Structure 1
């Protein structure tokens, strides 16, 4: 068995770390990463000792790359193509037409109906194209039971779909760098909420901003850290000004020290409209950081009860307001940290990177 993982290479979020964490300790002579762009993912893969191949493209949808991939598969005697993301899935279909003997697997990291939100007519076209290609692989990994159900509802045979959960390395207890609140102009009396998410529509930042506006008069020490970049940055900054939240919301951009930022936060927040199994919530669990999250993907497997955190409806800023007030009241009483401890205990036994890798390898063997 020889597996070529294929991704656009422009990922900087959970999808990137899912792939890199999977491949990091696997045999590079058997597991290879192919990307179309020489960005952060390419650099991180090389740093981790992952065998990475750049398939150069002149533009995002450069179909001439298909021949490069086919030649590489022939040269390396690849037996399985494993695609991640819309572009890789569409290219994967064309590669499969030239290599019928090569098994094709895809991991569904996100809801394909949400991948091109707010992209106009072009976004609708890409969504249609991706959905068409997504029905062609031989096998599927779904990163939550909900995503498995979604694939089945699209007409994909249940026997072709395997559910796997993300996992991280819980042995890394201490952050790679050390930060203090003073470094971010925060003080010990602030209630710090960390939100790690790309600044894109599907992440639902407006829900967080509206809820923050509701509580700020009674809880003036609440501070929201927005960690991530994206094309909505200017629009979100404008909304922060309009809601008069400038002194309570901090745009930190893309950061490599997320683990250190989570360590100084009191709470982690996720307001996404759609997710699979968010890695950032596992990172929060590793930091023993309590969580408020929307009810997306497999979050209820990580937060099975209110003893472990809060799960709220999507796009419901009133429910988020209530959860934030409960969290801050528990913080004042000194009870909030107990939720983080319970969350850590559950996650560190059930969602380890070792379990994640082994589940993927077991599925490969079954399919071969």
Structure 2
């Protein structure tokens, strides 16, 4: 079975990690998986570093439909059995050529397709409709949460038999591979996410203000359109000395920051199955999330982490206070419980096996 994964190539967050991790595991298991990006960018670069067979189509712009003929030739001449797209632009390109290719077509839905282009006006509305159209055309759709699957069935009206829930995974390290924690004078929170409205960092800043504890410090790791607005909000709330905006950090930089982190936070309005929280857990950092996606699958109870209500500043502040005031040994026990649970349930190997089983069924239908 020969499989081609396709992405626009400009992804620089959880989607990138998802694709590269999955194809890295496939390479380890000698699977015939390859990657094509529409443009040169972070995805192709990361994949090459990981030793993944990687090609770049060379689209000249985001909307270069002249490259569609080249894409058809690449797929058919490569004799792929499965083409698997990630992201709205890759989905759109395949929707325009799927009748001309000799392969089954799968899509992974990494996020709520009705929110992906929120706040982008008419262009955003058009791309939302085009992406939904593509989802309906594909032979199979992987949803990374049950909530997304239900959304696709009930709102998008995709045949439920085409939809498969497969949770994201990461590569977990053994405990002795994790560097020792640095001693630090503050209770450090970290938020690793794109700095966009959907990620809810303004909620986190307002919750930090409500916590009203100078001993608590917040580190925001990510870039995006809301960065200057958030810096202004921190100043307006008079908590700027407690907040550090790091911008985008690579994995080594993040792992170093985790060594002096007491709680990883994600206060999004919508999420799928956030890899950043799995990565924090792998670093033995306890996690706090709003009740997004299927987060209860990741944090099943109070012994495994902290869950706050979506969009609720008081609830977020309450959970932060709970962690801050908790005995250090108990907080560490929660971190260990969570890692044992996640590494047993959400490995990349499990993820790959689940996806492959769907591929095989698809090819005999």
1:310 aligns with 2:310: no
Point out the more displaced range, 166-175 or 286-295. 166-175
Local SS of the residue matching 1:330? coil
Aligned to 1:299: 295
Shift of 1:180: 7.5
Q: How does 1:105-120 map to 2 (within 5 A)?
A: 105-120=106-121
The verdict on how the C-alpha distance between 1:318 and 1:158 changes in structure 2, with shifts beyond 3 A counting, is: same
Cα deviation 1:184-204 (Å, max 9, x = unaligned): xxx722000010000111101
Cα deviation 1:88-125 (Å, max 9, x = unaligned): 111111120212x3211000000011111221222122
1:279 aligns with 2:257: no
Question: Separation in 2 of the partners of 1:174 and 1:119?
Answer: 46
Aligned to 2:133: 132
Local SS of the residue matching 1:106? strand
Question: Can you give the 5+ residue segments of structure 1 that lack an aligned partner in the other structure?
Answer: 182-186
Aligned to 2:357: 362
Question: Separation in 1 of the partners of 2:302 and 2:177?
Answer: 27
Local SS of the residue matching 1:253? coil
Aligned to 1:349: 344
1:82 aligns with 2:84: yes
Shift of 1:74: 2.0
Aligned pairs, number: 358
Question: Separation in 2 of the partners of 1:305 and 1:54?
Answer: 44
Question: Separation in 1 of the partners of 2:66 and 2:228?
Answer: 35
TM-score, structure 1 length as denominator? 0.93
Question: Separation in 2 of the partners of 1:175 and 1:10?
Answer: 31
Point out the more displaced range, 105-114 or 288-297. 288-297
Cα deviation 1:225-283 (Å, max 9, x = unaligned): 10111121111111111111211111111111222222320000001111111001111
Shift of 1:175: 7.2
**Are the aligned partners of 1:6 and 1:82 in contact in 2 as well (CA < 8 Å)?**
yes
Aligned to 2:223: 229
Q: How does 1:112-261 map to 2 (within 5 A)?
A: 112-153=113-154, 154-171=156-173, 173=175, 188-216=184-212, 219-256=213-250, 257=252, 258-261=254-257
Local SS of the residue matching 2:132? helix
**Are the aligned partners of 2:222 and 2:249 in contact in 1 as well (CA < 8 Å)?**
yes
Match of 1:321 among 301, 317, 320: 317
TM-score, structure 2 length as denominator? 0.94
Shift of 1:56: 1.0
Q: How does 1:5-20 map to 2 (within 5 A)?
A: 5-20=5-20
Question: Separation in 1 of the partners of 2:338 and 2:259?
Answer: 15
Question: Separation in 1 of the partners of 2:60 and 2:175?
Answer: 42
Question: Separation in 1 of the partners of 2:25 and 2:318?
Answer: 43
**Are the aligned partners of 1:118 and 1:201 in contact in 2 as well (CA < 8 Å)?**
no
Local SS of the residue matching 2:117? coil
Shift of 1:318: 0.6
Question: Separation in 1 of the partners of 2:298 and 2:256?
Answer: 22
Cα deviation 1:17-36 (Å, max 9, x = unaligned): 10100001324782111112
Question: Separation in 1 of the partners of 2:319 and 2:354?
Answer: 34
1:41 aligns with 2:35: no
Shift of 1:67: 1.1
Shift of 1:43: 0.8
